[in-house]
Chains A and B, each alone.
Chain A
């Protein structure tokens, strides 16, 4: 039931792009993306509702393919501040609207 995130970890140079994927076996109402830095609370990035819409702000965007129950987070021209662990949270249609979290993708940005 837990969504599968890939990759588990990625190391980039500053300025490079990254894609993080989140896949569920269940029909989804929405997908949430959060970033967590070490020792801190998760911080909200964006929500995607079913409908295949793409969202973004600054150089971080995401898409949601409701037919495949997959979401991807795109980080363009990565900055040092993007380092952290990225979590997707999925809300299955049959879950009483509870968030179910992936295990996270650790992103390391090097200068």
Chain B
């Protein structure tokens, strides 16, 4: 099993550019989520999905879009990159919604916006 695969691992964007961070899991998990991690702040939830076709906002959704057309894939789109979006982004999946099951994380995408 590959688990959760994120691409790319590193990315540098110019302010105003758009891009898509890819996330795929092969564990048939219904629940997927995107987090950003900034120094000293832990993980903050951007968007999440409880199944194909269903997405919702987390704590810090502004500037990001998501879609879930299949169980396996959950891409995160940055619409117009800003320096404040410089961060490490993690995609995670779990068998069911957050409360009682383990979350599996991708290896992260380190994004720098200049």
Contacts and interface: CB of A to CB of B under 8 A. Distances in A.
Interface residues of B, number: 23
Interface residues of A, number: 24
A60 interface: no
A49 B100 contact: yes
Interface string A80-111: 00000001010100001111111110000000
Interface in B29-56: 35, 40-45, 48
B58 A98 contact: yes
Q: Is the interface of B mostly helix, strand, loop or mixed?
A: loop
B75 to A, nearest CB: 18
Nearest to A8: B40
A44 B100 contact: no
Given A40-B107, A42-B90, A101 B101 contact: no
A47 B107 contact: no
Contact of A99 (B40, B98, B104, B106): B98
A98 B45 contact: yes
Nearest to B4: A41
Interface in B57-106: 58-59, 90, 97-106
Contacts of B45: 98-100
